[in-house]
Amino acid sequence: MSDTVAMIVFVAFPYAALTLAIVVTVLRWKLAPFTVSSISSQLLESRKLFWGSIPFHWGIVLILLGHLATLFFPATVAWWNGVPIRLYALEITGLALALWAAAGLLVLLYRRLTTARIRAVTTPMDLVVLIVLAVQIASGIWMAVGYRFGSFWSVGVVVPYVWSLLKLSPRPELLQPFPFILQLHVVSFFVLVAIFPFTRLVHLITLPLPYLARPWQRVVRMRHIEPVG
Ligand code: HEM
């Protein structure tokens, strides 16, 4: 990959995506606050939603916490991985969570494509989100299996790249020599960032954490009782 392409893909695009995400999210929040939602479809279909949404959300939230831990506490992660058995435990846990999330995502995708009532309310952007997430998770799993041990090597290369972006002194050269699959994983993250405010993903800013522990909605069916007399 040439320096110019690296500059576009690993610097210009990430900053453009972040700017777009922040500006449009703020505008959407201000101008159309009631659209900041995941627009639940539970009333239309709840069984597949349960088997898709719960594994996907638990898997992905825990994996992203792992990513954040590596970003903010790289020395601790490096120390943890200093003992092989702990490195294996971390990698196997990450992979298991990733497979769990992937299984959930497949159910969600299947539900969107095959359930008539859900298809009727599905927008093209709903499918785009699911497909980009699938690329994100598949490339993560590919890396975890094909380029072991990511939680170890990412501390020296990927973490400094992300910090270089955050500190506004980008170092695209760090990712340049890496395999395509890692580059894809990073780029698809910024694609997710760019489309974030235009999709259901925007519900993330409402930090709906209680939903991980209780049903998304409690829908109570009431039989209508005719008044006597
Ligand atoms: C710039 C942002 C990101 C970077 C730099 C990054 C980096 C990495 C690295 C280095 C690995 C390999 C870890 C290992 O083998 O132990 C990985 C794995 C993974 N990533 Fe990411 N990632 C990013 C964003 C995301 C996002 C947003 C998602 C999901 C929505 C995601 C999902 C995964 C999954 C499912 C795995 C495989 C499970 C694992 O082993 O941890 N990543 N990522």
Q: What pLDDT digit, counting tens, does each position of 93-142 carry?
A: 999 999 999 999 999 999 999 988 888 888 999 999 999 999 999 999 99
Q: How far is the C-alpha of 99 from the C-alpha of 200, rounded, in Å? A: 23
| Domain assignments of the chain as residue spans, ordered by start | 46-186
The pair of structure tokens assigned to 78 is 């490096």
CA of 212 to the centre of ligand 1 (A): 21
Q: Is pLDDT above 70 for 215?
A: no
Q: What is the pLDDT of residue 12?
A: 98
Which among 124, 141, 145 is positioned nearest to 184, based on CA atoms? Answer: 141
Residue 63 CB neighbours (<10 A): 19
Long-range contacts at 75-78 (CB < 8 A, ≥ 24 apart): 77/151, 77/155, 78/152, 78/155
CA of 150 to the centre of ligand 1 (A): 9
Q: What is the pLDDT of residue 121?
A: 86
Q: What is the DSSP letter of 178?
A: S
With respect to CATH, is domain 46-186 assigned 3.30.420.40? no
Q: Is pLDDT above 60 for 229?
A: no
CA of 45 to the centre of ligand 1 (A): 30
Contact, 25 vs 17, CB < 8 A?
no
The ligand 1 atom at the shortest distance from the C-alpha of residue 152 is 16
Ligand 1 pocket test, pick from 70, 143, 161 with the greatest ligand atom count within 8 Å of Cβ, gives 143
Ligand 1 pocket test, pick from 57, 63, 153 with the greatest ligand atom count within 8 Å of Cβ, gives 63
CA of 86 to the centre of ligand 1 (A): 19
pLDDT tens column, 22-76: 999 988 888 877 777 777 778 788 888 888 899 999 999 999 999 999 999 999 9
